[in-house]
C-alpha cells in the first residue's frame, strides 16, 4: 500500500517516507492511496485469535511492500506486550479497555508500533534518527515509553515547565536512556513553535536526521485499527449489529476505525463522543464545519477545537456531510453529565471509569435510546488512576494507580531546563547529537 497527501493526489509516498516525514510537504496529511480489501482476513479471525496475531497479520497485509510477514510478526510481538480487555456492563454496553499499556492510555497502541516500525526501517538503512516532539502531557509519555531502548533512535521531548501534572512529569523525566526531557520555561505553544522551527532550520536538519512522532503520523494511526478488528472478532458471533463509541479529540482514533471499516470490517456505526468541544456534532447537525478555540474540560485529552483528522475524514467522505452521517453519529456530553455518569456507573456496577470514557458512555446511552437493539462497545481511552482528582471529587474513592505508574513515584526527575527561544533548542541539539 502506498500513501498520498490529502491535498495533492500526485504526492505519493511509500510507508517508510510517510513514517519519517510525518506531515506531507504540501501541509496535507498522508492517507492510503487505494482501499485495501481485508475481508477474508477479518473473517478468518475468531474469538481465540490473539491481539498480537491480528496486529501481525494486518501489518503483513497492509504493509506488504515494506515488511515481510516475519518482520511484521516481530514488530507485533515486540510492540504489544499488552492487549485490550472487554468488560461487559449492564444493558448491552461493553467497555473496551485500551489502557493496559506502558503509559496507561490508548495512545500506547500507536506509539509502540511506530517505535518498532522506525527501529526496523532504520536498522535496514543503517541510519540514526532523532525524534523531536512537544507535549502538553499525555502524548509525550506514550512516546517516551514506546521508544525507550530502541536502537539508532534518540528522543527529545519538550514540555512546558509547571504546566503538566506531577505524575505526567514523572512519566517524561524518569525514563533516562535514549529519552531526554527538555523543560521549557514557557507554554505548550512555545514548545510547539520551537519544534516547528527546528524542522525548518537547515543548520540542524543537515547535521541531524530529525523526525516527529506526533499523533497525525500514519505510523500511529494505522495500528489503531488493530483493536477494532480484535474487539469485533470477540463479539461477532453474538451480535449482528454493533456500534463502536469513540471518545474523540483530534479524531485519530475514530479515523483508524473508519479505515478498518473501509477495509471490510463490518461495524455498523461509529459514534463520536465529545466533551464541550463539539465541532463534529455541530457539523453533523447543521452541515457547517466551524473550528473553535479549545474549551477546557475535565476530559482534557479531548480539548481540541480544531481536530486535524477532520481533513482525513472529509477526504474519505468526499466532503459530503450526508456521507459522514451515514457512517457516524455524534454527541456532546457536558462536564456535569460526565461526572454524573462516573458516579452512576460506580454506584450501579462498582466500576470506575476515567472522564474520557464517561463521555463515551454518555454518548452510548443517547444512541441506544434510538437504537435499542444495537450492541454498544465504548472505547476506554485511559486508566482512571490517571485522573484521581476528578474521580475522588465525584465518588469519594481514590482510584488505584496502575502498577506501571506507582513505580514512578519514587524515581528522581531528570530534565534540562531551557528558555523558550529557538536558539536554546538549536544549541542543545547541535551540541548533544
Binding of residue 251 to ligand PLP (CB under 6 A)? yes
127 an active-site residue?
no
Torsions phi, psi for 66 (to 5 deg): -105, -40
Binding of residue 356 to ligand PLP (CB under 6 A)? yes
Task: List the catalytic residue out of 4, 57, 107, 150.
Answer: 107
DSSP code for 382: B
Nearest to 379 by CA among 93, 187, 21: 93
What's the grid cell of residue 166?
506531577
Per-residue contact track with ligand PLP, 183 to 202, x per CB under 6 A? --------------------
- The residue among 252 and 399 lying less far from ligand PLP, judged by its C-beta, is 252
Strands, E assignment, 199-322: 210-211, 242-247, 269-274
Binding of residue 253 to ligand PLP (CB under 6 A)? yes
Per-residue contact track with ligand PLP, 296 to 325, x per CB under 6 A? -----xx-----------------------
User: Shortest distance, CB of residue 332 to ligand PLP, whole angstroms?
Assistant: 14
Interface region with ligand PLP, contact rule CB under 6 A, candidates 125-133, 249-257, 310-318, 366-374: 249-257
Distance of CA 341 to the CA centre of its chain: 24
Distance in angstroms (rounded) separating the CA atoms of residues 350 and 115: 36
Evaluate the CA torsion angle 183, 189, 195, 197 in order and state its sign.
Answer: negative
Distances from the Cα of 73 to the Cαs of 155, 222, 313, in angstroms? 25, 16, 29
Binding of residue 362 to ligand PLP (CB under 6 A)? no
What's the grid cell of residue 97?
479497555
User: Shortest distance, CB of residue 337 to ligand PLP, whole angstroms?
Assistant: 17
Binding of residue 109 to ligand PLP (CB under 6 A)? no
Distances from the Cα of 189 to the Cαs of 101, 116, 185, 388, 420, in angstroms? 28, 29, 11, 26, 10
Asked whether 306 and 283 are in contact (CB, 8 A), the reply is: no
Binding of residue 250 to ligand PLP (CB under 6 A)? yes
Over its C-alpha atoms, the chain yields an Rg (Å, rounded) of 21
Interface region with ligand PLP, contact rule CB under 6 A, candidates 25-33, 165-173, 195-203, 248-256: 248-256
DSSP 328-348: EEEEE--HHHHHHHHHHHHHH
- Total residues contacting ligand PLP by CB under 6 A comes to 15
Query: Considering only residues 364-403, where is the footprint of ligand PLP by CB under 6 A?
Result: 381-382
Binding of residue 236 to ligand PLP (CB under 6 A)? no
- The residue among 71 and 248 lying less far from ligand PLP, judged by its C-beta, is 248
Binding of residue 219 to ligand PLP (CB under 6 A)? no
Binding of residue 220 to ligand PLP (CB under 6 A)? no
Residues within the interface to ligand PLP (CB under 6 A): 105, 107, 138, 247-253, 301-302, 356, 381-382
Which are the catalytic amino acids? 107
Amino acid at each position: 500500500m502506498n500513501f498520498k497527501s490529502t491535498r495533492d493526489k500526485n504526492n505519493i509516498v511509500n510507508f517508510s517516507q510517510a513514517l519519517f516525514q510525518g506531515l506531507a510537504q504540501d501541509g496535507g496529511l498522508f492517507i492510503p492511496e487505494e482501499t485495501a480489501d481485508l475481508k477474508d482476513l477479518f473473517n478468518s479471525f475468531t474469538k481465540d485469535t490473539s491481539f498480537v496475531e491480528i496486529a501481525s497479520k494486518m501489518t503483513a497485509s497492509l504493509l506488504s511492500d515494506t515488511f515481510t510477514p516475519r518482520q511484521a510478526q516481530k514488530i507485533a510481538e515486540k510492540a504489544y506486550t499488552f492487549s485490550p480487555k472487554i468488560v461487559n456492563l449492564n444493558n448491552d454496553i461493553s467497555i473496551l479497555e485500551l489502557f493496559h499499556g506502558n503509559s496507561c492510555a490508548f495512545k500506547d497502541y500507536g506509539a509502540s508500533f511506530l517505535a518498532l516500525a522506525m527501529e526496523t526501517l532504520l536498522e535496514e538503512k543503517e541510519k540514526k534518527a532523532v525524534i523531536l516532539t512537544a507535549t502538553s502531557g499525555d502524548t509525550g509519555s506514550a512516546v517516551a515509553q514506546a521508544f525507550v531502548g530502541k536502537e539508532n533512535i534518540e528522543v527529545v521531548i519538550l514540555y512546558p515547565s509547571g504546566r503538566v501534572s506531577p505524575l505526567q512529569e514523572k512519566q517524561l523525566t524518569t525514563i533516562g536512556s535514549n529519552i531526554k526531557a527538555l523543560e521549557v520555561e514557557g507554554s505548550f505553544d512555545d514548545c510547539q513553535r520551537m519544534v516547528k522551527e527546528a524542522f525548518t532550520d537547515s543548520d540542524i536538519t543537515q547535521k541531524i536526521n530529525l523526525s516527529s512522532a506526533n499523533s497525525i503520523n500514519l505510523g500511529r494511526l494505522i495500528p489503531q485499527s488493530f483493536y477494532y478488528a480484535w474487539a469485533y472478532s470477540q463479539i461477532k458471533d453474538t451480535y449482528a449489529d454493533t456500534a463502536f463509541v469513540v471518545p474523540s479529540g483530534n479524531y485519530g482514533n475514530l479515523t483508524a476505525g473508519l479505515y478498518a471499516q473501509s477495509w471490510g470490517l463490518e461495524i455498523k456505526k461509529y459514534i463520536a463522543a465529545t466533551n464541550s468541544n463539539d465541532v463534529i456534532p455541530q457539523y453533523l447537525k447543521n452541515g457547517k464545519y466551524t473550528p473553535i478555540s479549545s474549551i477546557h474540560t475535565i476530559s482534557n485529552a479531548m480539548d481540541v477545537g480544531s481536530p486535524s483528522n477532520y481533513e482525513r475524514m472529509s477526504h474519505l467522505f468526499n466532503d459530503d456531510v450526508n456521507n459522514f452521517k451515514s457512517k457516524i453519529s455524534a454527541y456532546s456530553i457536558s462536564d456535569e453529565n460526565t461526572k454524573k455518569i462516573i458516579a452512576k456507573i460506580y454506584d450501579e456496577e462498582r466500576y470506575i471509569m476515567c472522564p474520557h470514557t464517561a463521555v463515551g458512555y454518555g454518548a452510548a446511552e443517547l444512541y441506544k435510546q434510538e437504537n435499542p437493539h444495537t450492541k454498544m462497545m465504548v472505547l476506554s481511552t485511559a486508566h482512571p488512576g490517571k485522573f484521581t482528582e476528578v474521580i475522588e471529587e465525584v465518588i469519594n474513592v481514590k482510584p488505584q494507580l496502575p502498577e506501571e505508574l506507582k513505580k514512578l513515584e519514587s524515581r528522581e526527575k531528570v530534565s534540562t531546563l531551557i528558555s523558550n527561544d529557538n536558539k536554546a533548542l538549536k544549541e542543545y541539539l547541535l551540541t548533544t547529537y
